[in-house]
Structure 1
Amino acid sequence: MKKTLQYLISLTVAAVLVWFTFKDIDLNTLWEKIKQADYRWVALSAVMALVAHWSRAYRWVLMLEQMGYKPSVFRTTLAVLVGYGANLIFPRAGEVARCGTLNKLEDIPFEKSFGAVIAERLIDVLVLLLLIFLNFIFEFDRLKDVFFNFFGEKFKNPLLLGSYALVGISLLVAAYFLFKKNQEKIAQNTIYQKVAKIIGGFASGFMSVRNLKNPSAFIFHTILIWTMYFVMTYVLCFALPETANLSPLAALSIFVMGSIGMAAPTQGGIGSYHFLVGSIVVLYGLSQQDGITLATFLHAMQGMVFVAIFGIIAFLLTLVLPKRGVRI
């Protein structure tokens, strides 16, 4: 019931954002411009997307190897692609589907691979925060008003924020001392023991990034993943005549806002991506019509078509792959 409610809320948020974003847009004009796009750039972008997904899988393998597992990079890539495909259906289901698929293909404990995924997601958040910072520094004159309009209200009442923080810290301290007082009794509980085992697996996967055998390869693939993400966005801008002359800094702004939009709790970033990218593009001289057209085109290619095609192919391959022990 809870999952159903979350899904309905996500759909509602996406629907509202889509309506708000497209209510003043001529959809016929939008569709005609997308049909006339140069799809050679789309093909190039698709290749870059595959490189990024392969690199993400390779980085995941590096983390799993530290825990004593040596999965096939090919199979791990399939698991990554299946995970992205699952996100189109259920928001945030991708990580679960990804680890479940790897468990099926390579018999790696779910909690171990999931802990590694959490660690890599936190690293990706740090990379995105760095990109947001750099984007804000390089494009301060354009982005300052957008930033303060979005976040300015949050800092108007520091006393209220301090009160929330104090209450939160107090609750955590109270919970800690309550647990310590009853630790021996709690430790004998069967449910606690099962949960502790799962959490231990998560922790092992999460901490795997600290003791990597090849940290330079991990850093390289982290840079490669995000470089491919940025370049595939920039390349797609060349496919539409109205956006072919956008600068790399404009593409960086589009990429950063698009990444934030894709992280929103809606199916595949639908609505949130269009709203944020469409809003930022007008700062670079494009009309609202052209801005939403570009946002729709980018999201359709990167967030829907590529993900759906790669995800379906990967899922079908997982159904026919030989059992673990037979390498490809």
Structure 2
Amino acid sequence: MKKVLQYVISLAVAGGLLWFVFKDIDLNALWEKIKQADYKWVGLSAVLALIAHWSRAYRWALMLQPLGYNPSVFRTTLAVLVGYLANLVFPRAGEFARCGTLKNLDDIPFEKSFGAVVAERIADVLVLLVLILLNLLLEFDRLSTFFFNFFGDKFKNPILLLGLGAAFLILAFMAFMTFKRNQDKISQLPLYQKVANVIKGLADGFLSVRNLKNPMVFVFHTVFIWVIYYITTYVLCFALPETANLSPLAALTIFVMGSIGMAAPTQGGIGSYHFLVGSIVVLYGLSEQDGITLATFLHAMQGLFFVVVFGVVAFLLTLVLPKKKLEGV
């Protein structure tokens, strides 16, 4: 029942965001521009996306080696693609789906492959944080203006900001002191123990990177994945005449906002991606109509079309591939 409720809420959030984004948009004009896109750039971006997925699968296989498992990169790639497909149905289900797929293909224990996924997700979050900071540094004037306008003039009041900051610090201090005084009792609560175990698992997963035979290869692929993701987004911008002249910095802003949107708890970033990307591109001279058109086009290609095509093909291949059984592990 809980899972059903989460799914319904996720759909409701996605639907609400889509309504808000498209309520003032001419959908016929949007569709005409998407039909007139230069699809040779879509083909190139599809190849780049597949390369990024292969790199992610290679990194995952690399992390399983210290645990005593050596799956082929072809099979880990299929599992990664099936995972992305699962995310379109249930938010955050992709990690479970790809670990389950690899268990079915290579008989690698689910908990082992999932631990490696936790570690790589932490690395990806760190890269995204670096990209966010880089984007803020390079486009501070544009982005600061956008966020001030977005949240309203009241946030330009320094006294209000200082007051909010002070209130947050006071509340945080009070919560910390309350925890210290009641630590023994709180530590016995099932919820506390569950959270503590999750945090320990995340830490253990991240520290497992130290056992890699070639840690620099892990670092290279972590950076490479995100560079290719960025290039894929930039290449797709060339497909629409209205966005073909966007600068690399504009593409970086779109990519960062899109990545945040895709991380939102909605199916495949639906709604959240359109809202964030469609809102931010007006800073680069695009109209609201053209901004939403670009956001829709990028998400349709990267977040839906590529994911469905690659994912379905990968899933069908998993049905016909011979299953391996581990020996002596």
Q: TM-score, normalized by length of structure 1?
A: 0.88
- TM-superposed CA distance for 1:88, in Å, is 0.2
Deviations 1:35-55 (A, max 9, x none): 010110000000000000000
Matches of 1:171 and 1:109 in 2, distance apart? 41
Per the alignment, do residues 155 and 36 of structure 1 end up closer, same or farther by CA in structure 2, a change over 3 Å counting?
A: farther
1:89 aligns with 2:96: no
Counterpart of 1:165 in structure 2: which amino acid?
A: A
Per the alignment, do residues 320 and 291 of structure 1 end up closer, same or farther by CA in structure 2, a change over 3 Å counting?
A: same
> 2:85–2:307: 8 Å Cα contact kept in structure 1?
yes
- Tell me, which stretches of 5 or more residues in structure 1 are unaligned? 187-191
- TM-superposed CA distance for 1:168, in Å, is 4.7
Matches of 1:291 and 1:235 in 2, distance apart? 16
The aligned residue for residue 296 of structure 2 is 296
The aligned residue for residue 165 of structure 1 is 172
The aligned residue for residue 257 of structure 2 is 257
Partner of 2:71, secondary structure, is coil
- Tell me, which stretches of 5 or more residues in structure 2 are unaligned? none
Matches of 1:13 and 1:88 in 2, distance apart? 14
Partner of 1:25, secondary structure, is coil
TM-align CA RMSD: 2.7
- TM-superposed CA distance for 1:219, in Å, is 1.0
Give the % identical residues.
71
Matches of 1:161 and 1:199 in 2, distance apart? 23
- TM-superposed CA distance for 1:104, in Å, is 1.2
Q: Which one is further off, 303-312 or 317-326?
A: 317-326
Matches of 1:75 and 1:242 in 2, distance apart? 40
Matches of 2:64 and 2:120 in 1, distance apart? 11
- TM-superposed CA distance for 1:155, in Å, is 6.7
Per the alignment, do residues 257 and 200 of structure 1 end up closer, same or farther by CA in structure 2, a change over 3 Å counting?
A: closer
Matches of 1:197 and 1:159 in 2, distance apart? 32
The aligned residue for residue 10 of structure 2 is 10
> 1:64–1:205: 8 Å Cα contact kept in structure 2?
no
Counterpart of 1:4 in structure 2: which amino acid?
A: V
- TM-superposed CA distance for 1:210, in Å, is 2.2
Matches of 1:149 and 1:211 in 2, distance apart? 47
Per the alignment, do residues 11 and 171 of structure 1 end up closer, same or farther by CA in structure 2, a change over 3 Å counting?
A: farther
> 2:119–2:202: 8 Å Cα contact kept in structure 1?
no
Per the alignment, do residues 282 and 149 of structure 1 end up closer, same or farther by CA in structure 2, a change over 3 Å counting?
A: closer
1:271 aligns with 2:271: yes
The aligned residue for residue 282 of structure 1 is 282
The aligned residue for residue 189 of structure 1 is none
Per the alignment, do residues 279 and 324 of structure 1 end up closer, same or farther by CA in structure 2, a change over 3 Å counting?
A: same
Matches within 5 A, 1:117-266: 117-148=117-148, 156-166=163-173, 168-169=175-176, 173=180, 177-178=184-185, 205-266=205-266
Matches of 1:197 and 1:323 in 2, distance apart? 33
Matches of 2:105 and 2:230 in 1, distance apart? 31
Aligned length: 317
- TM-superposed CA distance for 1:237, in Å, is 0.3
Matches of 2:308 and 2:126 in 1, distance apart? 27
The aligned residue for residue 316 of structure 2 is 316
- TM-superposed CA distance for 1:177, in Å, is 2.9
Deviations 1:68-107 (A, max 9, x none): 2111111111111011000000001111111111111122
Matches of 2:315 and 2:165 in 1, distance apart? 49
